[in-house]
Amino acid sequence: MINYQVFQGQLGWWRYKMYVAVKGGEKAIDNAHAWLAELRRGDENVLELSVDQIREQLSLAVNRVMSEGSLFDPDLAALAIKQSRGDLIEAIFLIRAYRTTLPRFGYSAPINTGSMQCTRRISATFKDIPGGQILGPTFDYTHRLLDFKLAAEGNRTKAQSQKTDPKLTPHITEFLNKEGLIQTEKDDGSAPPDLTREPLEIPADRTLRLQALSRSDEGFLLGLAYSTQRGYARNHAFVGELRIGICSVEMDIPELGFSIEIGEIEITECETVNQFVGSKKEPPQFTRGYGLVFGQTERKAISMALVDRAMRWKELGEENKNAPAQDAEFVLYHCDNIQATGFLEHIKLPHYVDFQSEIELVRKLRKTADQNKKQKGK
């Protein structure tokens, strides 16, 4: 019996075939589910981990699930992590699947990251910036030594906090723009395509590429970004600005004639500054790479900005060094971990008929080879 399974992934709707058993195995599957639930619970003498605990104490894992699951909901992301026993890719799969069941009421207006209530804001290009450098919650200055106090008594250190004024924290790269030293990003006013509703087509414009990168696998993106720094693309970058904070989300209501705020989300935004020697059309100036993701996910935001800039080589008239990060088709078709998981894991499903045909083919080839060998021996 052929079972058609359909998944909605980054590249739109796709399907694959696989052979599955028609009868039998139900009891084994039920027991596998029961065993999975038992292992998920663990030792019953240990307090069960609650969704609230995961949301509050494993927030970086929650942020990754929201980012790659394309759904901002910390509670649902925490529930998915619990259900998946901490397997983040499985949790992302659960969030993606749930997301497809939700009704869509409309599109929000573009968020204004310039009005972000920053909890972290740093620049590697300017030391003294309006509003100051805000280190925020980061591992950058820790010693990376195991803290055994956490296992014994927990950590109850209280940090001093102070709200930032968005008016005092403008985008840092705009300083370069005043002198024309950095390329101006232009908005043509057209509505961007929706990757969750339309299949990806190559060549893809920058808006579509950024959507794909924003929900791509962090490890894959990190590896590509690292390759650009090691010379596998023309990409020597500085972090012009990295900011993390809360932004308001607004939605235009036609009946009201104006937009209303429908909520707040935490995002990470990164703008890299890259040297550009110029071309026949453009004078020497700096260019940008851009990254924007849900939650505090700065490693991914920086990686996204580096890969975004590497894929812009053609529009900037640069040399194609045949680097992996410059190949938009390769990057976009392989960056989605849910699609990658689907193709990878389907090979462990029953392929009895296919394999039997392979066995018969190998036997036939071996028989032919033996006959040829005997004939040569004569």
Q: Using one digit for the tens of pLDDT, what is the confidence trace for 158-174?
A: 777 776 666 778 888 88
> CA 12 to CA 20: how far, in whole Å?
25
**Rounded Cα gap, residues 265 and 295, in angstroms:** 8
Nearest-angstrom CA–CA distance, 67 and 61: 10
Average confidence (pLDDT) over 329-333 = 93
State residue 250 phi and psi, 5-degree precision: -120, 155
Which residue from 329, 300, 340, 295 is spatially nearest to 219, judged by alpha carbons?
300
Q: pTM here?
A: 0.84
Confidence of residue 276 (pLDDT cuts 50, 70, 90): confident
Instruction: Report, as an integer, the average pLDDT of 148-166.
Output: 73
Provide the β-strand partners of residue 251: 260
**pLDDT given at position 155:** 65
CA atoms within 13 A on the CB side of 343: 9
pLDDT value at position 20? 47
Any idea what the Cα angle at residue 251 is, between residues 249 and 256, rounded to 5°? Answer: 140
Contact 264, 245 (CB under 8 A): no
pLDDT of residue 2 exceeding 50: no
Residue type, 227: S
Our CA angle for 275, 295, 10, nearest 5°, is 75
First-residue to last-residue Cα distance in the chain: 49
Which residue would you say has higher pLDDT here, 216 or 17? Answer: 216
Lateral strand order in the sheet of 237-253:
117-122, 237-253, 258-276, 285-294
Beta-strand pair 258-276/285-294: antiparallel
Q: Pick from 251, 265, 272: which is nearest to 294 by CA? A: 265
Pairing between β-strand 12-19 and β-strand 117-122 as defined by DSSP bridges? unpaired
Query: Looking at the predicted structure, is the pLDDT value of residue 376 above 90?
Result: no
Instruction: For residue 6, name the pLDDT band (cuts at 50, 70, 90).
Output: very low
**Residues contacting residue 10 through CB under 8 Å, at least 6 positions apart:** 195, 200, 212, 215, 216, 332, 335, 336, 338, 339
- The pLDDT of residue 277 is 65
Please tell me the predicted confidence (pLDDT) of residue 27. 85
pLDDT(224) > 60: yes
Residue burial 41-78, b: 16+ Cβ < 10 Å; e: rest: eeeeeeeebebeebbeebbebbbbbbbbbbbbbbebbb
Secondary element (H or E) of residue 92: helix 88-99
State how far the Cα of 21 lies from the Cα of 211, in Å rounded to an integer: 38
CA-to-CA distance for 221 and 317, rounded, in angstroms? 24
The pair of structure tokens assigned to 303 is: 């990686």
